[in-house]
Amino acid sequence: MKLRPTTLAPALGCAALLVLGTPGTAAAHGDTIHFAVGGEQQGGHVRTVATWENDGDPVDEHVAGTLTATGPDGRTAGPWQLVAAEGGKGAYTTRETLPEGTWKVVVHCGFPDLGHGEGTVTVAAGTAGAGQGPAPAESAAATPQGSGPAGPVAARREAASPENEEAPAAPSFSSRTGLVAGACAAVAVAAAAVVLLLRSRRSVAAGAAATRSGTAGTTGSRGARR
């Protein structure tokens, strides 16, 4: 069955709308992000909310941005990376914390679009976080063992304890085997020497007997001639 062009046209139009969407939907938010910064920050964590500049909708995509703070005395903190915060879409904060005081905060981002925001925040006394200092666990790990007064004493006690004294090493199997082999070799040499000695004595005795026999024969032949 052949479809008429008048039947295909509406279908193609609907498909195009589904693929491309309503004109202007992709650009409804705009291409600029605004960061709202200000107010009192609890715990020293600066909080900011990202919204689209055109319609004010919260940015529900991942934001790649940084935060920098400057104090009244010229101190600076950051740039620190923005991370998602609890409390709604578009809310961001930092892992680091600001010390107490008043700070001018500037936020920039480059994804999903360019964004910017400025504001002044106040960190109340007693609510400031740990700042950029090392964690207590890291400080404890960085302290060498035995650095206190009791360190050398404990080291000497451990060195002098009977448990640390090395016990005499037992002769190994290979050394025992070598001793046995040496003893067997010595016995074999001694036995060979005894055998050689007996053989030499027998040879000497046989030679002496032959000599005596020869002497007796010579004497008898001389007597017969007389």
190 CB-side CA count, 13 A: 6
The verdict on domain 32-123 having CATH code 1.10.1760 is no
Domain boundaries, the chain: 32-123, 178-206
Residue 142: φ, ψ to 5°: -80, -15
Per-residue model confidence (pLDDT) at position 59: 94
Q: What is the reported pLDDT for 94? A: 95
Q: What is the DSSP string of 184-217?
A: HHHHHHHHHHHHHHHHHHHHHHHHHHHHHHHHHH
Tens digit of pLDDT per residue, the chain (226 long)? 454 544 444 444 444 444 444 444 345 667 899 999 987 677 889 999 999 988 889 998 899 999 999 999 999 999 999 999 987 889 999 999 999 999 999 999 999 999 999 999 999 887 665 454 433 333 334 444 444 444 444 445 555 555 555 555 555 545 555 565 566 566 665 666 665 677 777 776 676 666 676 655 555 555 555 4
* DSSP class of 99: P
Q: Give SS3 for 18.
A: helix
Give the distance between the most distant pair of CA atoms in the chain.
170
Nearest in space to 60 (alpha carbons), one of 88, 39, 90: 90
How many angstroms separate the CA atoms of 177 and 169, rounded? Answer: 16
Other CB atoms within a 10 A radius of the CB of residue 105 amount to 24
Residue type, 24: G
H or E stretch covering 178:
helix 173-225
130-138 long-range contacts (CB < 8 A, ≥24 apart) are 130/97, 131/44, 131/96, 131/97, 131/98, 131/99, 132/77, 132/96
For the whole model, what pTM was predicted? 0.46
- The letter for the amino acid at 4 is R
